[in-house]
Structure 1
Amino acid sequence: MRIVVTGGAGFIGSNLAKHFDKKGDEVLVIDIFRNSDRFSNGNLKSFGHYKNLLGFEGEILEGDINDKATLKKIKKFRPDTIFHQAAISDTTVSEQDLLIRTNLNSFSHLIEIAKDLNSKLIYASSAATYGNAKSPQTVGECESPRNVYGFSKLMMDKLAFKFFKKLHIIGFRYFNVYGSGEYFKDKTASMVLQFGLQILSGKAPKLFEGSDKIKRDFVYIKDIVLGNELALNAKKSGIYNLATGKARSFQNIADILQRELGTNLGSEYIKNPFVKQYQFHTQANILDTKTDLGYEPKFSLEDGIKDYISEINRIYESEVNG
């Protein structure tokens, strides 16, 4: 296949790019790559990093999906499939104009390219579309995002729905993804990695107060890649949750990490400054994902952290202290 991965130097995008590259597909990565630019909240504007693509043998293009020139190059490549992962994914960003332009408006242009080329389009939505909906969160039910990021993803899903009969288009509502390749997400990297690095530095992991009751559906990156690959052969278009279907607490993460790392540092509890924008319980309903796509998550939280632990150690030694 000829495959385009937008946001291909980012966390999920780079994992997809390297996966299909190793399978022998012709892969074009599109990414703006990181620089020193930051949002008003102080976080980086781009998480794409060349180190995420070490070992990748495909083609790389520095380009912004908001630019017509980049869109023309995607069309010229004539992809069989577009994995659209590029987005502003920071839920605390307040620049609404840039979020809507980057996440929603650019998506409409990619839909037009997919229509013209009859390409499959598989894109990243988000569990942020649900806001504080009661668990288990189900596609089409109680969709009330609490931030502009979640709103932009919900509107992407609504736009995609209009093309279900005309295109092979699959949207994945990712829940809390963790695993190799996320280090360069900086402050927005998963708490699995952040807690792990805190513990390796000899510090007790910092958790929000009440973290034993704050639960999320944590999904390992290898299961995300699995779901995206299964979407290639989907019999119909649709929007699906991509997760484990189980809610685990942030305290669980800290405890599992300490067991794996052989430490007993306890935990430090701090106030949550994001209460008004925060999701306190996520748990995906993945019945349709299983039924329609044949998806079955392979990694529990324990299994995922165990598989990830050597990479967390490498990051601490080579990136943090290298």
Structure 2
Amino acid sequence: MKILVTGHKGFIGSNMSQYLIHKGHDVEGFDWVENVVPAVEQYDWVVHCGAISDTTEKDIDKVWKHNYEFTMRLLQICDNYQTNIQIASTAAVYGPYTNFNEEDPCYPQTPYAWSKFLIDKFLVDNGIENFNMLVQSYRYFNVYGPGEGHKKDQMSMVSKFEVQAATDGVIKLFKNSDKYKRDLVCVYDLVRIQEEMMHQDASGVYNLGTSKSVDIESVAKLVAKNTGAKIEYIDMPYHLKNQYQEYTCADNAKLHNTIPIRHWITLEEYYKDIVKNDRET
């Protein structure tokens, strides 16, 4: 298939492009340019990864223009040319609560989460099955993997701990992190699942997470074990206290009912098989 990946230089977009090429697809990339929408009629699929994904971004106009207005224009032109589209959404739409089913109410807390929620809402309100193409929106949970370096403070906790370990030999961990749990999904699983979904005659909003949570302290200890770093416990900054999610865990029954997912990469497997091999090559 011929596929266009927006945001192809970013963390998920670059991993997506590499995997799709590996699977034999003809892949091209597109980076956001103001007032420009790509010509989509030549593609079988558009994978829309491009966005301002900084959850702390306060410039509402900037987020609205990049994440909402551009996505709406892209949806319209894909509908016009019957070009299928996958859209990167986020579990942040659920807000600070612990209900993570696609049918549950959403309580977005940031401009980023709002921009994604409103796209999903538009799709559902207008009947996602009624478009002239397949539309798949994926609510990513806590994605980790290679290629996050440019994200700095927005890196996953896995990569953030790795950078701290490599730089200072010390992982800084918020106190009480044994009580904070995350649904960690490896980017390799994410791109594999989205490629498999391209072969399904299915439209919908889907959670993309493992449906298992791990506490953050355990993550830090695993990284420390694999890097030889020490752990230093610190207080959580005040500006994070009101927006720090205590728990995430995907209800992925809808996704599992669409494609059979035989296995999710665990963090232990990621370090044992993937990171180890990368270090040796």
Same fold by TM-score greater than 0.5: yes
1:302 matched to 2:268? yes
1:75 matched to 2:40? yes
% identical equivalent positions: 30
Query: For the aligned residues, what is the CA RMSD?
Result: 1.9
Counterpart AA for 1:146: Q
Contact 1:165 1:237 in 2 (8 A): no
1:7 matched to 2:4? no
Q: Number of residue pairs matched?
A: 276
Q: Distance in 2 between matches of 1:270 and 1:310?
A: 32
User: SS at 1:19's partner residue?
Assistant: helix
Q: Distance in 1 between matches of 2:258 and 2:98?
A: 23
**Cα offset, 1:313, TM superposition:** 5.8
Counterpart AA for 1:168: L
Per-residue deviation, residues 192-224 of structure 1 (Å, max 9, x unmatched): 111112223343211122111111101101110
**Cα offset, 1:311, TM superposition:** 8.0
Counterpart AA for 1:100: W
Match of 2:85 in 1: 121
Counterpart AA for 1:148: P
Q: Distance in 1 between matches of 2:198 and 2:273?
A: 26
Contact 2:165 2:229 in 1 (8 A): no
Contact 1:241 1:286 in 2 (8 A): yes
1:111 to 64, 75, 94: 75
Match of 2:17 in 1: 17
1:143 matched to 2:106? yes
* Long gaps (5+) in structure 2: none
Per-residue deviation, residues 211-270 of structure 1 (Å, max 9, x unmatched): 111111011011101121122123321111111111111111111112223x26233323
User: SS at 2:121's partner residue?
Assistant: helix
User: SS at 1:27's partner residue?
Assistant: strand
Contact 2:136 2:203 in 1 (8 A): yes
Question: CA, structure 1 residues 97+79, in 2 after alignment: closer, same or farther (shift >3 Å)?
Answer: same
1:203 matched to 2:166? no
Q: Distance in 1 between matches of 2:234 and 2:171?
A: 8
* Long gaps (5+) in structure 1: 32-62, 315-322
